Amino acid sequence: MTPLEEFERDLVLITSIEGLGEITDAMNHDVGKYIARVARNVSAYETGREALTPTLLAMLVKDLFETHQSKPASARFATLRAELPESLRASRIIEDVAARLRAIDSLESKVRIGDAGAVGDAVRESLLISGCLSGVARAVRRVMDARGDDA
Amino acid sequence: MRVLVIEDGDEYLEFAVSCLGDGFEFMHAHSHQEACDALAASAAINVFFFDLRFERSTESALVGDIDATAKRMFAGDRMRARRWVKDQQGALILAALRLAGHKQRAVFIHDFPPVRLANLRKLYGDVLAVPDFNAALIRKALMEGSR
């Protein structure tokens, strides 16, 4: 079973998911979408063979480390994660996203100076995080639709 | 081609200028009022480029009646209503612009569920959504809006 399938299974077992869609939509938007704003468009740099242009590097730094209220994406994610029901907060896919965000944070000093290897690693992690959070948001919507729940 | 970028920050404009390439002239609005001002100043705007969530906007800059929304949708919970109005602000601004007669294509970067997107099209006509910051798809969506 994939981490996303596990998440959806746990979701089905929760009796009240009122407001959950708002949280996972915010995770998808505030973290998943923006963390991949530059990353999604620089696949040529994913291998870390080339340096980003100064403009794109500045944008990437903003996406990763100065995003919501000028804080790292990991901080925004931590805030929203704390709003999740306990059983979902500890789920494998949510922990996986947190671990990838920690990995990105550990690359900050190198990414800021445009180290090609670090930028490549950060881009790859960003795309994976974006995919996970998009999947989580869709899973919540699917379950809510099936139950006839509102956001 | 003239694009009006409507968002609560500057991430869309920054992205558009840096990643979409040549052929565009961008104008910028942070609210419905600023969008109206931009439209009044330039009749030749071809397409709207929207964010959906306006979390950073002040309440006074928002379109939408929060108190009525609280009563109608959230059993009087004003905080949840305020959050909803911010979360849906792009669509609410689009509704207001359509009401004022502005029929330009609207392009959102948002992963709308298919039913929601179909509803937006039913209500507001020419609406496209790209699920993420994919420059090639966004460029295509914006360019087609000029035809």
Helix H, strand E, coil C: the string for chain A is CCHHHHHHHHHHHCCCCCCHHHHHHHHHHHHHHHHCCCHHHCHHHCCCCCCCCHHHHHHHHHHHHCCHHHCCHHHHHHHHHHCCCHHHHCCHHHHHHHHHHHHHHHCHHHHHCCCHHHHHHHHHHHHHHHHHHHHHHHHHHHHHHHHCCCC
More confident residue, B98 or A50: B98
Predicted pLDDT of residue B117: 95
Q: What is the mean pLDDT of residues A102-109?
A: 98
Q: Do A33 and B55 lie within an 8 Å CB cutoff?
A: no
Question: How high is the pLDDT of residue B146?
Answer: 47
Q: Summarize the confidence of residues A100-121 as an average pLDDT.
A: 95
Alpha-carbon span A149 to A13, nearest angstrom: 14
Q: How far is CA B87 from CA A6, A22, B102, in A?
A: 28, 8, 22
Phi/psi class of residue A48: alpha, beta or left (left: φ > 0; alpha: ψ in -120 to 50)?
A: left
pLDDT tens for each residue of A70-79? 899 999 999 9
| Alpha carbon of B22: minimum distance to chain A alpha carbons (Å) | 16
* Residue type at position B85: V
* pLDDT for residue B43: 67
Using the Cα atoms of residue A112, residue A113, residue A119 and residue A121 in order, give the sign of their dihedral: negative
Give the separation between CA A13 and CA B68, rounded to whole angstroms.
33
Tell me: pLDDT of B145 over 60. Answer: no
The amino acid occupying position B26 is F
| Paired tokens of A53 | 């242009």
Burial, A40: exposed, middle or buried (Cβ in 10 Å; 0-12, 13-18, 19+)? buried
> In terms of pLDDT, which residue wins out, A13 or B36?
B36
If you average pLDDT over residues A95-101, what whole number do you get? Answer: 98
Interface test mutation site (partner A, options B19, B55, B134, max chain A beta carbons within 10 A) = B19
Average pLDDT, chain A: 90
User: Residue B101 and residue B81: Cα distance in Å, rounded?
Assistant: 27
Domain boundaries, chain A: 19-145
B113 and A141 within 8 Å at the Cβ level: the answer is yes
Which pLDDT tens digit goes with each residue over B117-126? 999 999 999 9
Per residue in A9-38, pLDDT tens? 988 888 777 789 889 999 999 999 999 999
pTM of the complete model = 0.89
To test the contact with chain B by mutation, choose from A38, A41, A145 the residue with the greatest count of B C-beta atoms within 10 A, namely: A41
Q: Does A45 touch chain B (CB under 8 A)?
A: no
Q: Would you call B87 and A22 a contact, using CB atoms and an 8 Å cutoff?
A: yes
Contact A32, A130 (CB under 8 A): yes
Per-residue model confidence (pLDDT) at position B42: 81
E strand intervals along B46-111: 47-50, 105-109
pLDDT digits (tens, 9 = 90+) for B55-109: 999 999 999 999 999 999 989 999 999 999 999 999 999 999 999 999 999 999 9
Residue B53 and residue A29: Cβ atoms within 8 Å?
Answer: yes
| pLDDT band at residue A46 using 50, 70 and 90 as cut-offs | low
Tell me which residues of chain A, numbers 91 to 130, contact chain B at a CB-CB cutoff of 8 Å: 130
State the best of A20, A29, A130, A144 to mutate against chain B, taking most chain B CBs within 10 Å: A29
Q: What domains are defined for chain B? A: 2-56+89-144 (3.40.50.2300)
Shortest distance, CA B134 to any CA of chain A (angstroms): 6
Candidates A56, A25, A35, A40; CA nearest to A101 is A35
A76 touches chain B (CB under 8 A): no
Residue A151: the pLDDT is 46
Q: Is the pLDDT of residue A150 over 70?
A: no
Q: Do A55 and B18 make contact, defined as CB atoms within 8 angstroms? A: yes
